[in-house]
Amino acid sequence: MFPPRSLAMSPPHESFWTMSRWPLPVLPLFLAGVLSTLGAQAIPPPPESFDGETIRCQRAGSAATVLICRDAELTAIDVQLRQAFRRLRDDASLKQPERVALMEDQRRWVETMDECWRAQESLRTCVKSSQQQRLRQLDSLAMPLRLMPRKQ
């Protein structure tokens, strides 16, 4: 009934123990892989590096960024947003505190748009609505600057 005593008491096969241990070269590779994924998480850029660009298709980004990069209509709206933002940011009549506030407002808007994946509506609907609303905001901010007389 029972296995012979010689089989029951024999130590486990040697290859079992060597296979269960990680060879030394595997550990650094494993740690490098784990650490490299930590940097890939969506972290907003530090204030000094944010230039107001809404998307960067060259880098992996949020679901909203990927959608904008793949959708011609959303890309066209993003180009309009970029142009409107640059015109406003680069306007000579805009004072430094206003320029800083504009940059911070733009950063908050980008972060909010990147959260569209949480919306109950479709991602595309949320992103497009957010883009159109921001374009109207930038245009309304630029209107008083267009009406002000230029300093010479």
pLDDT in tens, 113-133: 999 989 888 999 999 999 999
| Average pLDDT rounded to a whole number, residues 65-93 | 93
- Say whether pLDDT at 4 is over 50: yes
Checking if the pLDDT of 143 tops 90, the result is no
What does the alpha-carbon distance between residue 100 and residue 34 come to, in Å, rounded to a whole number?
37
Residue 16 lies in a domain: no
The verdict on residue 3 lying in a domain is no
Residue 28 has pLDDT above 80, yes or no: no
Average pLDDT along the chain: 75
Annotate 1-58 with DSSP letters as a single string.
-PPPHHHHTSPPPHHHHHHHSPPTTHHHHHHHHHHHHHTTS--PPPGGG--S-S--TT
Residue 8 lies in a domain: no
Task: Count the domains in the chain.
Answer: 1
Q: Is residue 4 part of a domain?
A: no
**Assigned domain for 10 exists:** no
Tell me if 12 is assigned to some domain.
no
Q: Which residues contact 92 (CB under 8 A, 6 or more apart)?
A: 150, 151
Locate tokens 């010479």: which residue? 152
Q: Are 44 and 52 in contact (CB under 8 A)?
A: no
Within a domain: 89:
yes
What is the C-alpha separation between 93 and 73, in angstroms, rounded? Answer: 32
Range of the domain at 89: 52-145
Give the pLDDT confidence score for residue 29 in this predicted structure.
Answer: 53
Query: Cα–Cα distance between 62 and 66 in angstroms, integer?
Result: 6
pLDDT in tens, 31-78: 555 444 444 444 444 444 455 566 778 776 889 999 999 999 999 999
110: which 2 tokens? 């980008």
Residue 136 lies in a domain: yes
- Which of 5 and 47 is assigned the larger pLDDT? 5
